[in-house]
């Protein structure tokens, strides 16, 4: 059963919260982060991407980068840009995008729940990325960025959240430069906090939606700190890490698409003939064409959009992995035809989040940088949960959640 723990958050003063709030570290490269934080000393990117305050070209994994994260975090606290709450609380963090709002509860998940499988995941993690975040958490002694969890919706929790947001003013309420609304409430009633914790204790599993590397790093830091503490009890803050928990019926997964540099030595005509062995292909013209349902793909090649309908032999409805469109595309196009065996390491393929739009796919191909683009119908949350429950792992770059959580509205200290 899931553990949810209130904590004493570090938060920015209301008047600068919108300036502190930053996009997650892993959706920006160093140059983008430097540009985004330009002229804004309050941006949390100075802590989560601290290489922006070091000379251009500094390796983001260099020791001085982690040291700079620690220095900047200390400075934020000294200047009261991040101020501790007086006691342990839970929080509500809501986001509005395209007219719809999703409401998450911010609290701490348990390291033990990660290791014993109560927290389920659907992606593999990379050791280098785990180590990077572990170093960052260790040197700052904090979870600066929340992870994004989902759970099977509970009506009683929904009612509590609804009552709070309708009866109290948010402490933060702003629209970020990308047009996403961010709204943040404190849950201050001890009785309400205890009731939410009790209701969470009945939930059999929570699921990592976004932030697998941050989750793994937080859990590994907790395990490491246990070893380092001869008087370990189990209730120390390092046994817990910050997560925003959203009910599954409020979330939306958007498409996560692929672009490939070349046709593996094939002509356009040869490539299309090979595609026809596994798909019904139809030309759709020069305007972007988006897939309408599972097992339909769209392809952009040489100025033309095509629809590709997967033939029955390409998938197995009774297997949660074999039925996925990313599996179909990987097996019958990327691997068999284009010779791309490992999506994690092959430099000939790149991935484009659907938030960038179909035009980004055609732009990458029209520029000559890429030869062909594929758009996929989004994975459903039901599919994600079925895979996590089965203990299987999704292929790389399968899910893209929007909107992304902003970091910096609350921070969890590990002591």
**Residues 185-220: tens digit of each pLDDT:** 999 999 999 999 999 999 999 999 989 999 999 999
pLDDT for 341: 92
Which pair of tokens denotes residue 308?
């590709």
Residue pair 244/149 in contact (Cβ under 8 Å)? The answer is: yes
Residue 153 has pLDDT above 90, yes or no: yes
What is the sign of the dihedral through the CA atoms of 165, 176, 29 and 397? positive
DSSP string of 349-378?
EEEEEGGG-HHHHHHHHHTTS-SEEEEEPP
Average pLDDT for 3-9: 98
Q: Do 245 and 272 lie in a common domain? A: no
| Banded pLDDT at 340 (limits 50, 70, 90) | very high
Among the listed residues 70, 67, 71, 68, the one whose alpha carbon sits nearest the alpha carbon of residue 52: 68
Q: Picking from 89-98, 194-203, 352-361, which range would have the lowest pLDDT averaged per residue?
A: 352-361
- With respect to residue 384, please indicate whether it lies within any of the assigned structural domains: no
Among the listed residues 20, 39, 5, 169, the one whose alpha carbon sits nearest the alpha carbon of residue 83: 20
Residue 271 has pLDDT above 90, yes or no: yes
Query: For 64-74, how does the pLDDT look when each residue is reduced to its tens digit (9 = 90+)?
Result: 999 999 999 99
pLDDT for 354: 84
Q: Picking from 126-140, 343-357, 369-383, which range would have the lowest pLDDT averaged per residue?
A: 343-357
Q: Is 13 helix (H, G, I), strand (E, B) or coil?
A: coil
Q: Is 335 helix (H, G, I), strand (E, B) or coil?
A: helix
- CA atoms of 207 and 394, how far apart (whole Å): 13
- With respect to residue 93, please indicate whether it lies within any of the assigned structural domains: yes
Mean predicted lDDT score pLDDT of the chain? 95
Residue 310 has pLDDT above 90, yes or no: yes
Please state, for a pLDDT cut of 70, what percent of the chain lies above it. 100
- With respect to residue 243, please indicate whether it lies within any of the assigned structural domains: yes
pLDDT for 389: 93
| Banded pLDDT at 38 (limits 50, 70, 90) | very high
Q: Do 313 and 220 lie in a common domain? A: no
pLDDT for 249: 93
Residue 230 has pLDDT above 90, yes or no: yes
- With respect to residue 397, please indicate whether it lies within any of the assigned structural domains: no
pLDDT for 145: 97
Q: Do 234 and 261 lie in a common domain? A: no
Residue 400 has pLDDT above 90, yes or no: no
Q: Do 48 and 72 lie in a common domain? A: yes
Element (H, E) at 135: helix 127-140
Q: Do 118 and 229 lie in a common domain? A: yes
- With respect to residue 246, please indicate whether it lies within any of the assigned structural domains: yes
Among the listed residues 235, 26, 14, 7, the one whose alpha carbon sits nearest the alpha carbon of residue 111: 235
Which pair of tokens denotes residue 74?
């200390």
Q: Do 119 and 248 lie in a common domain? A: yes
Q: Do 245 and 125 lie in a common domain? A: yes
| Banded pLDDT at 163 (limits 50, 70, 90) | very high
Report the domain count for the chain. 2
- With respect to residue 331, please indicate whether it lies within any of the assigned structural domains: yes
Residue length of the chain:
415
- With respect to residue 387, please indicate whether it lies within any of the assigned structural domains: no
pLDDT for 268: 97
Dihedral over alpha carbons 393, 396, 400, 404 (to 10 degrees):
90
Q: Do 271 and 211 lie in a common domain? A: no
Q: Do 135 and 195 lie in a common domain? A: yes
Q: What range does the domain containing 119 cover?
A: 10-252+403-413
Please, which contacts does 343-349 make with residues 24 or more away whose CB atoms are closer than 8 Å?
343/395, 343/396, 343/397, 344/126, 344/396, 347/261, 348/260, 348/261, 348/262, 349/258, 349/259, 349/260, 349/261
- CA atoms of 253 and 251, how far apart (whole Å): 7
Please state, for a pLDDT cut of 90, what percent of the chain lies above it. 87
Rounded to whole angstroms, what are the CA distances from 407 to 93, 173, 211, 322, 373? 11, 14, 12, 35, 32
pLDDT for 396: 77
| Banded pLDDT at 246 (limits 50, 70, 90) | very high
Q: Is 63 helix (H, G, I), strand (E, B) or coil?
A: helix
pLDDT for 126: 78
Q: Do 193 and 323 lie in a common domain? A: no
Q: Do 244 and 314 lie in a common domain? A: no
- With respect to residue 5, please indicate whether it lies within any of the assigned structural domains: no
The pTM assigned to this predicted structure is: 0.88
pLDDT for 343: 86
| Banded pLDDT at 363 (limits 50, 70, 90) | very high
Average pLDDT for 142-164: 97
Q: Do 189 and 44 lie in a common domain? A: yes
Among the listed residues 169, 167, 151, 171, the one whose alpha carbon sits nearest the alpha carbon of residue 104: 151
């Amino acid at each position: 059963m899931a553990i949810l723990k209130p904590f004493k958050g570090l938060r920015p003063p209301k008047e600068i919260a919108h300036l502190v709030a930053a996009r997650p570290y892993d959706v920006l490269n160093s140059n983008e982060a430097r540009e985004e934080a330009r002229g804004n000393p309050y941006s949390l990117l100075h802590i989560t991407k601290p290489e922006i305050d070091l000379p251009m070209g500094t390796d983001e994994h260099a020791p001085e980068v982690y040291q700079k994260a620690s220095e900047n975090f200390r400075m934020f606290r000294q200047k009261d840009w991040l101020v501790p709450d007086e006691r342990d609380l839970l929080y509500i963090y809501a986001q509005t995008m395209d007219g719809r709002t999703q409401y998450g509860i911010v609290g701490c998940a348990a390291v033990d729940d990660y290791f014993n499988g109560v927290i389920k995941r659907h992606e593999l993690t990379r050791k280098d990325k785990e180590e990077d975040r572990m170093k960052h958490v260790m040197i700052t002694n904090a979870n600066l960025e929340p992870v994004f969890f989902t759970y099977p919706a509970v009506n009683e929790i929904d009612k509590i959240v609804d009552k709070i947001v309708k009866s109290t003013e948010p402490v933060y309420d702003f629209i970020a430069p990308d047009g996403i609304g961010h709204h943040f409430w404190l849950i201050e009633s001890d009785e309400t906090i205890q009731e939410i914790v009790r209701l969470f204790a009945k939930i059999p599993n929570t699921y990592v939606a976004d932030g697998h590397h941050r989750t793994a790093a937080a859990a590994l830091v907790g395990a490491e700190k246990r070893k380092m503490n001869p008087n370990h009890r189990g209730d120390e803050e390092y046994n817990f890490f910050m997560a925003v928990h959203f009910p599954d019926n409020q979330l939306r997964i958007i498409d996560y698409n692929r672009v490939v540099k070349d046709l593996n030595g094939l002509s356009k005509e040869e490539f299309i003939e090979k595609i026809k062995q596994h798909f019904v292909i139809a030309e759709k013209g020069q305007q972007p064409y988006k897939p309408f349902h599972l097992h339909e793909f769209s392809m952009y090649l040489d100025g033309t959009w095509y629809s590709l309908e997967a033939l029955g032999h390409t998938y197995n409805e009774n297997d949660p992995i074999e039925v996925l469109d990313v599996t179909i595309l990987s097996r019958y196009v990327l691997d068999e035809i284009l010779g791309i065996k490992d999506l994690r390491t092959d430099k000939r393929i790149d991935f484009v989040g659907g938030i960038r739009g179909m035009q980004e796919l055609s732009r990458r191909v029209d520029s000559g940088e890429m030869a062909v683009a594929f758009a996929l119908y989004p994975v459903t949350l039901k599919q994600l949960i079925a895979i996590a429950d089965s203990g299987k792992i999704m292929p790389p770059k399968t899910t893209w959640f929007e909107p992304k959580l902003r970091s910096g509205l609350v921070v969890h200290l590990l002591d």
